[in-house]
């Protein structure tokens, strides 16, 4: 399938999910906390975190959770339209804009990890071990232009895609041309495509570790402070029609609770010899950034 076809298919999928969310939201207002429509990023979903967390929440509260895993951009649009009850996303600047617009409330930092550049083991662009992401991206662009490397972008307005574009801007590079591919898909699918095409890709660490056994990719550029990846939850404004506010309040309270935070920090850490997520409830973004730097 061509990259334009991938993007078209992804756009149709997002449209279908948004339509489904709108239909679910129209089914009723906050007449009880029996159901929660949670819009989330694919990286949270692909890591397997929600597969374990959601059943615990459902058992404790009796609330049935419907997870819509899309790029963060689509999740934020769902919130603005009132087509979700709560969000679990990772695009801080875009989230703050939604708070300022009054579309979401009670935004809480939940966890963090980091992004990294993964690529083929033989590293044709020669970026392995580079600790400066701007230097690495400049080198990747040069390798792309001379035909010695490919870069795969998600191209889907997700939190990862937003961060990637911001990093290219910091590097003074306008990516494009034959070396710059776009999947139009989520993180898991994009990693699979990058592995097949022997391309470099920006990925969150949790999804990369969770899927690493099936990938011919290795981490090459990491541990730059600009690669921190902050995850927050928030409620969609109860002023919007049909919002299950009681369920959203319960979700935010659950995921920021001390025992659940401890569970998030331990999630698959023994399996991979490192945490997939660091708990961060009650911390500021600056504190989380400093903690990641000290742990690197």
Mean pLDDT of 104-124: 98
Give the pLDDT confidence of 38-61 residue by residue, as tens digits.
999 988 888 999 999 999 999 999
Q: How many residues does the chain have?
A: 296
Looking at every residue in the chain, the average pLDDT score rounds to 90
244: CB partners within 8 A, 6+ apart: 29, 30, 33, 34, 35, 36, 37, 85
- Looking at the predicted structure, is the pLDDT value of residue 107 above 70? yes
Q: Model pTM?
A: 0.86
What distance in Å separates the CA atoms of residue 252 and residue 260, rounded to the nearest whole number?
11
Q: Which CATH number fits domain 3-113+229-295: 3.40.50.1220, 3.40.50.460, 3.40.190.10, 2.40.50.140?
A: 3.40.190.10
- In this structure, are residues 158 and 46 in contact, taking their beta carbons and an 8 Å threshold? no
**What pLDDT, on the 0 to 100 scale, is given for residue 45?**
87
Same topology for domains 3-113+229-295 and 114-227, yes or no? yes
Proportion of the chain in helix, strand, coil states, percent, rounded to 5:
50, 20, 30
What distance in Å separates the CA atoms of residue 200 and residue 119, rounded to the nearest whole number?
4
- Looking at the predicted structure, is the pLDDT value of residue 13 above 90? no
CATH for 114-227?
3.40.190.10
CA dihedral 197, 202, 208, 211 (to 10 degrees): -30
Domain ranges of the chain: 3-113+229-295, 114-227
**What pLDDT, on the 0 to 100 scale, is given for residue 19?**
46
Separation in Å, CA 34 to CA 30, 65, 85, 251: 9, 9, 12, 12
What distance in Å separates the CA atoms of residue 212 and residue 257, rounded to the nearest whole number?
30
**What pLDDT, on the 0 to 100 scale, is given for residue 229?**
97
What distance in Å separates the CA atoms of residue 237 and residue 268, rounded to the nearest whole number?
33
């Amino acid at each position: 399938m061509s990259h334009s076809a991938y993007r078209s298919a992804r756009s149709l999928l997002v449209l279908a999910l948004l339509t489904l969310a709108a239909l679910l939201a129209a089914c009723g207002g906050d007449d009880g906390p029996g159901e929660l429509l949670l819009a989330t990023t694919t990286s949270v979903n692909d890591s397997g975190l929600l597969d374990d967390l959601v059943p615990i929440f459902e058992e404790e509260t009796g609330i049935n959770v419907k997870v819509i895993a899309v790029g963060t951009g689509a999740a934020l649009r769902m919130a603005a339209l009132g087509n979700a009850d709560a969000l679990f996303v990772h695009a801080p600047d875009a989230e703050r804009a939604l708070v300022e617009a009054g579309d979401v409330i009670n935004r809480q930092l939940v966890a963090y990890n980091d992004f990294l550049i993964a690529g083929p083991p033989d590293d044709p662009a020669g970026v392995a071990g580079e600790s400066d992401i701007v230097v690495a991206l400049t080198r990747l662009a040069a390798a792309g232009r001379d035909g010695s490397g490919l870069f795969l972008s998600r191209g889907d307005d997700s939190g990862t895609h937003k961060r990637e574009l911001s990093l290219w801007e910091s590097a003074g590079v306008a990516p494009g041309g034959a070396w710059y591919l776009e999947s139009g898909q989520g993180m898991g699918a994009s990693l699979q495509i990058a592995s097949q095409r022997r391309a470099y890709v920006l990925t969150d660490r949790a999804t990369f570790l969770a899927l690493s056994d099936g990938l011919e990719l290795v981490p090459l550029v990491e541990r730059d402070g600009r690669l921190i990846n902050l995850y927050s939850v928030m409620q969609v404004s109860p002023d919007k029609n049909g919002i299950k506010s009681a369920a959203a309040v319960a979700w935010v309270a659950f995921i920021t609770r001390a025992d659940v935070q401890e569970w998030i920090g331990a999630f698959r850490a023994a399996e991979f010899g490192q945490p997939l997520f660091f708990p961060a409830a009650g911390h500021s973004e600056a504190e989380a950034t400093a903690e990641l730097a000290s742990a690197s």
